[in-house]
Amino acid sequence: RKAGRIGASQPLHQDGGMYSVNIALNAHEDDDPVNGFTGGGTFLEALSVGDDETVRRPASTGHALLHRTTQRHAGAPTTSGIRDILVIFLTARRPETPINNEYTYGIETAMRLQTMAKELPREQCLRGLELARSYDPLNSEMSYWLGVHLLQGDPNDPSDERWEEICRGVETLEAAAELNPADARAYYHLGMAISTRHKYAMRTKRAHLLPPAADAASRMIETFEEAIRLEKICEE
C-alpha cells in the first residue's frame, strides 16, 4: 500500500533460496484508480555504485524481475494506490555430481548457518560464521558479519590471539567491501576496524606491526567518505 514519498517499505535484506522472482499483478502508473499504483519497485543496492536506475520494476503486468537472493535489496515506497506482486523463491538440491559452480548449492546453507551463528556465544559464533563463509565465499554478508564479530572481542586482552583477531577483522571487512562495493555498512565498519587496530597496536606496543600511518589514515578516511556517499544514495 501507499507508504509515502520517502523511505522503503522494507530495510535492505537478502532472501532465502537461490533466486527471487517478483511478478507484477497490476500495472505501474495505471489510469485505473482502483487497480493502479505509482512508485514502488525493488531498490537494488548494487546499482547504487553506477549510473543506472537503482529501482527496478517488471515491464508490465505478468512480467517478472529476477535477482539472486544474495543481492541486497528493498521494496521502494509505493506513493499511490496498491501494488500487487507475487514473489517466488527458487531453490535447488545439490546434484550428487555437480558439473560446475559448486558454491551455488551452498547459498542456502551459508545463510542458515549465519543466522544460527549470530545467536551463539562469541567463540561458537565465529566458528559458525567461518563455516558459513566457506559454503558461500562470494556472499559479502558472510565476510561482513565475520569481520564485525572478530572486532567485538575484549579490548583489554593484550594476547597475540586478540591481535590476530583484529587483523583478521580488518582483512575480512576489506573482503566484504570488495565483494559488495555498494555496502555502506562494510565501509563504515572497515574504517572503525582500521582505527581499532591502530589504537590496540599502540596500547599493546605493536606499532611496528602496523602499516605506515599515512597509508592507514588515508584508507580510513576513504572508507568513511565512501560510507557517507553510499548512504546518501540510499536516502535519495
User: Taking CA 38 as the corner, what is the angle to CA 33 and CA 41, rounded to the nearest 5 degrees?
Assistant: 135
**pLDDT given for residue 35 in this prediction:** 66
The sheet with strand 55-56 has its strands ordered as 55-56, 42-44, 73-75
Nearest to 108 by CA among 120, 86, 87, 93: 93
**pLDDT given for residue 83 in this prediction:** 86
Kindly report the pTM of this predicted structure. 0.85
Low-confidence ranges of the chain (pLDDT < 70): 1-10, 29-35, 98-103, 234-236
**pLDDT given for residue 7 in this prediction:** 44
Give the other-Cβ count within 10 Å of 231's Cβ: 15
CA gap 187, 147 in Å, rounded: 11
**pLDDT given for residue 81 in this prediction:** 82
**pLDDT given for residue 77 in this prediction:** 85
For residue 159, give every residue at least 6 positions away whose Cβ sits within 8 Å of its Cβ, in sequence order, or none.
none
C-alpha cell at position 71: 543481492
- In the chain the domains, ranked by start, together with CATH numbers, are 19-90 (no CATH), 107-235 (1.25.40.10)
Residue 122 is which amino acid? R
Q: What is the pLDDT of residues 2-20, one digit of tens each?
A: 555 444 456 789 988 889 9
